[in-house]
Amino acid sequence: MDEENKNIAETIFENAPQPITVYENDEIQFRKIAVPEGWKVQDFDNEALLPRPRRKKATVSLKDADSFIKYIKRHGSLTACTIWGNVDYLNSKAQFQAVINDHGEKEDEQAWRDHIARFTPQFSPEYQRWIGKNGTVMSQVEFAEFLDNNQTDIASPEGYPSSAEILNMALNFEAKQDYRFKSSVRLQSGGVNMTFVQDDDAGTIEQMKVFDRFAIGIPVYFGCDAYQINARLRYRHREGKVVFWYELIRPDLVMKAATDTIIEKIKSECGQPFFFGNPFAS
Could you report the per-residue pLDDT of 164-190, keeping only the tens digit for each?
A: 888 888 888 777 777 777 667 776 666
Length of the chain: 282
- The phi and psi torsions of 151 (rounded to 5 degrees) equal -60, -35
Taking each helix axis from N to C terminus, what angle separates 163-175 and 140-149, rounded to the nearest 10 degrees? 150
Q: How many CB atoms lie within 10 A of CB 119?
A: 26
According to DSSP, the β-strands at 43-45 and 138-139 are unpaired
- The phi and psi torsions of 273 (rounded to 5 degrees) equal -60, 135
d(CA 136, CA 230) in angstroms, rounded, equals 16
What pLDDT score does 32 carry? 77
What pLDDT score does 10 carry? 61
Residue 139 · residue 179 · CB < 8 Å: no
Residue type, 109: E
Instruction: Indicate the burial class of 108 (C-beta count within 10 angstroms; 0-12, 13-18, 19 or more).
Output: exposed
- The phi and psi torsions of 236 (rounded to 5 degrees) equal -150, 135
pLDDT by position in tens, the chain (length 282): 566 555 655 665 566 677 777 788 877 767 777 777 777 666 677 888 889 998 999 999 999 999 999 999 999 999 999 999 999 998 999 999 999 999 999 999 999 999 999 999 999 999 999 999 999 999 888 988 999 899 999 999 998 999 888 888 888 877 777 777 766 777 666 677 777 787 666 556 777 778 889 999 999 999 999 999 999 999 887 776 788 899 999 999 999 999 999 999 999 999 999 999 999 987
